[in-house]
Structure 1
Amino acid sequence: MKSRRPKIVVIGGGTGLPVILSNLRDQDVDITAVVTVADDGGSSGIIRHYVNVVPPGDIRNVMVALAEIPGIYKDLFQYRFETTDDFFAGHAIGNLIIAALSEMKGGIFDAVQELSQLMRVNGHIYPAANEPLELHAQFADGTTLRGEAEITAAHKLIKRVWVETSNHHAQPRAAQPVIDAIMDADQIVLGPGSLFTSILPNLMISSVGKAVRESPAEVVYICNIMTQKGETENFTDADHVRVLNEHLGANFIDTVLVNTGKVPDKYIDYQRWDEMSQPVKHDFQGLRSQGCRVISTDFLQLRDNGAFHNGQEVVHELLNLIGQPRFQKDSRG
Structure 2
Amino acid sequence: MNKSKIVVIGGGTGIPVLLDALRKENIDLTAVVTVADDGGSSGKIRNAVNIAPPGDLRNVLIAMSDMPQFYADILQYRFDETDGPLAGHPLGNLLIAAVSEKQGSISTAIRTLGRFFHISGNIYPSSDQALTLHAVFEDGTEVAGESSIGKHEGLISHVYLTDTDTGGAPIASQNVVNCIMDADMVVMGPGSLYTSILPNVVIPDINKALLETKAKVVYVCNIMTQRGETENFTDADHVRVLHEHLGKKVIDHVLVNIEQVPQDYMDNNAFDEYLVQVKHDFAGLKEQEVKVISNNFLRLVKGGAFHDGEAVAREIMGLSKRQAD
Q: TM-score, normalised by structure 1?
A: 0.95
- Matches of 1:104 and 1:288, distance apart in 2: 50
Identity over aligned pairs, percent: 53
Instruction: Quote how far apart the aligned CAs of 1:83 are.
Output: 1.3
State how 1:166-177 maps to structure 2 within 5 Å: 166-177=164-175
Asked if 1:229 corresponds to 2:227, the answer is yes
Give the counterpart of 2:292 among 290, 294, 318.
294
Asked if 1:82 corresponds to 2:80, the answer is yes
Letter in 1 for 2:305: A
* SS at structure 2 position matched to 1:258: strand
Contact 1:263 1:279 in 2 (8 A): yes
Asked if 1:208 corresponds to 2:206, the answer is yes
Q: Compared with structure 1, are the counterparts of its residues 286 and 170 closer, same or farther at alpha carbon in structure 2 (3 Å cutoff)?
A: same
Instruction: Quote how far apart the aligned CAs of 1:156 are.
Output: 2.1
Contact 1:155 1:229 in 2 (8 A): no
Give the counterpart of 1:162 among 160, 163, 183.
160
- Can you give the 5+ residue segments of structure 2 that lack an aligned partner in the other structure? none
State how 1:112-127 maps to structure 2 within 5 Å: 112-127=110-125
Contact 1:39 1:45 in 2 (8 A): yes
Tell me which moved more, 184-193 or 172-181: 172-181
Instruction: Quote how far apart the aligned CAs of 1:176 are.
Output: 1.4
- Matches of 1:167 and 1:96, distance apart in 2: 21
State how 1:142-157 maps to structure 2 within 5 Å: 142-157=140-155
Letter in 2 for 1:285: A
Aligned to 1:188: 186
Q: Compared with structure 1, are the counterparts of its residues 258 and 166 closer, same or farther at alpha carbon in structure 2 (3 Å cutoff)?
A: same
Letter in 1 for 2:37: D
- Can you give the 5+ residue segments of structure 1 that lack an aligned partner in the other structure? 327-333
Instruction: Quote how far apart the aligned CAs of 1:59 are.
Output: 0.1
Instruction: Quote how far apart the aligned CAs of 1:155 are.
Output: 3.0
- RMSD across aligned C-alpha pairs, in angstroms? 1.1
Contact 1:258 1:294 in 2 (8 A): yes
* Residue-by-residue CA offset, 1:266-292 (whole Å, 9 max, x unaligned): 111111101101000000111111110
Aligned to 1:11: 9
Asked if 1:58 corresponds to 2:56, the answer is yes
Instruction: Quote how far apart the aligned CAs of 1:325 are.
Output: 4.8
Give the counterpart of 1:35 among 29, 33, 36.
33
Instruction: Quote how far apart the aligned CAs of 1:168 are.
Output: 3.8
Asked if 1:285 corresponds to 2:300, the answer is no
Aligned to 1:273: 271
* Residue-by-residue CA offset, 1:200-251 (whole Å, 9 max, x unaligned): 0001110001101111111000000000000000000000000000011100
Aligned to 2:104: 106
Instruction: Quote how far apart the aligned CAs of 1:169 are.
Output: 4.8
- Matches of 1:211 and 1:291, distance apart in 2: 20
Letter in 1 for 2:101: E
- Matches of 2:153 and 2:263, distance apart in 1: 24
Aligned to 1:319: 317
- Matches of 1:298 and 1:89, distance apart in 2: 39
Letter in 2 for 1:70: P
- Matches of 1:55 and 1:253, distance apart in 2: 28
Q: TM-score, normalised by structure 2?
A: 0.98
The number of aligned residues is 324
Aligned to 1:73: 71
- Matches of 2:187 and 2:59, distance apart in 1: 18
* SS at structure 2 position matched to 1:32: strand
Tell me which moved more, 256-265 or 102-111: 102-111
